[in-house]
Structures are given as C-alpha cells and as structure tokens.
C-alpha cells in the first residue's frame, strides 16, 4: 500500500471514530460486508470510489478530505466553499449523528413528497424522534430545506471527487461529470428533485436565493473547468468556456426536468447530452481550434 493509500485509510478510520458509530454499524449503513471494510482498513484491499462516497456520507466528511486531508485542495472538481456544504456545529459525535439523520430523512421526504406536503412531525417520525427534538436542531422547516440543498451539493461533490481524478481523457471526464449528475435511480432523482424545488422556491420567494446561487455557481464552475481542461488539451472548440458552460448546464437543467416529469428517461437524457457535447464542444477531426 502506498503512502497516499495509507493516509486515506487513516482518515477513513478517523472519520469512523469521530462519527460515534461502531465499524460494523458503518459497514451496515453503507451496504458493505464488514470483512471487506476491515480488509480495507487493514490495507489489504483498496476502497472503491462508491465506498468512499458512502463513507463520506455516513460519517459527515467529504471525499475530498478523505483523499487529501483538506476541503480546500483543488482537484478535477471545484471544492465547494464551506458555506454551501452542510453547516458544521460545535457538538459531540452523538448530536452530529442525529443532525445528519434528520437532514437525510428530510431530504428523502422532501424529494418524494414536496416541501408543502412534509411536516416537521413527518420528519420526526422518520427519524424516530419527537418534534421537540427536531426543533432542538432546527428552528424551522425552511432551515431544514436549506440544509437539504447543502446536503445535495455535498453528495454531488463527493461523487465527482471520488471518480473524476481517475479519468485523464477530457472528453470522457466531461461526459462522466454530466453522467454523475443525471436524475437516475432513487438517489439521483431525489437529488434533482431538491434542486428543482429550490429553483421553484427562489422563483416565488427570494429568501433562499443566495443559498441556491452559491450552490449553482459551484456546479457551473465545475463544468466550465472541465471544458477549459479540454480546450487546453486541444480537443474542445475554441469558444469562450463560460458560453459553453452556460449552454451545457442549461441543456442538463432542461432535460432533467423532462426526466422528473416523465417525458424522458435518464438514459434518453444522457444520449441527448452526449450528442450535444459531441456536436458543440468536442473538436471535430480535421478542424482547427
């Protein structure tokens, strides 16, 4: 095992310890055989990207921290500023774990039912807590809603950091970046639903505008940086990167809404986006930049 892999393993071990959960609980929550987790922690197997993403989710850290020891290190995906990640509080591991449980339960409920249909009592029931306990951590439902967007940003960032650093080809990297954000499967659809509800909320109520804008800027900058890398490698067209990023993110947003409303499938959405990238961003053979 290399020194870097040893450092990652040590940070995983530390994140599990600080979470307040036993190793077997963590293994159960992320759907990983306890023996496999033990082998990874002992250095006899490597953590897979999805395992790192799940570990970061359940222990409350980021994949960037697990890989580098910092949330400020720049890699193939733009690290979000701390203010748009789940809010950190000075509290012990037990309270931090309960706070994460509330946010995750609320995230699923809000994604599936919508903001107006979910009550604090519903969140409390899903967490097996009292409504008073929920209010101990969060004053209002709107505060919880804001945190679910930050949680969505963290989930996206973790996936990107876990996978994109292994992809060197700019075309594959850009396509994989977009693929990681598709509203596919339960989690992907839930994440996109939170974004869609946030857009609708900002359109009629400006209170969450800054929270949304900061999170969206992070996503837009990640796409633009991936385009810039392709341009520097000479495989993407020589059109202003911000213009291409605006067009590509707009296509993703619009098609994502069509998937959530049943007009398209996630596979059809990706096929359209892949075609858009090939036609408008990837430099055609025989062309000059």
CATH number at residue 209: 1.10.357.10
Whether pLDDT at 155 is above 70: yes
What confidence score (pLDDT) does residue 238 get? 96
Q: For residue 51, give the CATH number of its domain.
A: 1.10.260.40
Q: Phi/psi class of residue 39: alpha, beta or left (left: φ > 0; alpha: ψ in -120 to 50)?
A: alpha
- Look up residue 259 and give its two tokens: 């998937």
Using DSSP's 3-state secondary structure scheme, residue 236 falls into strand
- CA dihedral 209→212→218→222, nearest 10 degrees, is -120
**Residue 148 and residue 129 in one domain:** yes
Could you tell me if 154 and 71 are in contact, meaning their C-beta atoms sit under 8 angstroms apart? no
Bridge partners of 54?
Answer: none
- List residues bridging with 236 in a β-sheet: 282
Give dist(CA 73, CA 157) in Å, integer. 13
* pLDDT > 50? residue 289: no
The more confident residue out of 154 and 81 is 154
Are residues 200 and 133 part of one domain?
yes
Q: Could you tell me the pLDDT band of residue 220, with boundaries at 50, 70 and 90?
A: very high
Note the pLDDT tens digit of each residue in 167-185: 999 999 999 999 999 999 9
User: Are residues 200 and 162 located together in one domain of the fold?
Assistant: yes
Q: For residues 38 and 274, give the distance between their C-alpha atoms in angstroms, rounded to a whole number.
A: 39
pLDDT of 286 higher than 60: no
Query: Which residue range is the domain that position 136 belongs to?
Result: 74-280
- CA–CA gap between residue 171 and residue 144 (Å, rounded): 37
Closest C-alpha among 184, 196, 178, 127 to residue 282? 178
């Amino acid at each position: 095992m290399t020194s870097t892999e040893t450092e990652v393993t040590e940070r995983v071990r530390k994140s599990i310890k600080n979470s307040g959960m036993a190793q077997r609980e963590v293994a159960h929550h992320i759907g990983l055989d306890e023996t496999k987790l033990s082998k990874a922690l002992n250095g006899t197997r490597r953590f897979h990207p999805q395992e790192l993403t799940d570990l970061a989710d359940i222990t409350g850290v980021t994949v960037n921290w697990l890989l580098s020891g910092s949330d400020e290190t720049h890699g193939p995906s733009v690290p979000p500023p701390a203010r748009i990640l789940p809010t950190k509080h000075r509290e012990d591991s037990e309270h931090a774990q309960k706070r994460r449980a509330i946010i995750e339960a609320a995230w699923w409920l809000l994604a599936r039912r919508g903001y107006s249909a979910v009550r604090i009592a519903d969140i409390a029931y899903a967490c097996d807590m009292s409504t008073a306990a929920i209010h101990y951590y969060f004053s209002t439902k709107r505060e919880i809603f804001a945190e679910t967007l930050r949680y969505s940003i963290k989930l996206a960032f973790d996936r990107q950091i876990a996978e994109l650093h292994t992809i060197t080809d700019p075309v594959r990297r850009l396509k994989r970046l977009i693929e990681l954000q598709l509203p596919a499967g339960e989690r992907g659809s839930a994440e996109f639903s939170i974004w869609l509800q946030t857009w609708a909320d900002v359109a009629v109520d400006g209170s969450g505008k800054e929270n949304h804008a900061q999170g969206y800027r992070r996503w837009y900058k990640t796409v633009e940086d991936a385009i810039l890398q392709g341009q520097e490698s000479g495989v993407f067209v020589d059109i202003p990167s911000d213009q291409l990023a605006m067009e590509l993110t707009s296509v993703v947003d619009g098609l994502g809404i069509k998937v959530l409303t049943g007009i398209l499938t996630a596979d059809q959405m990706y096929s359209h986006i892949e075609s858009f990238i090939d036609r408008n961003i990837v430099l055609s053979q025989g062309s000059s930049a």
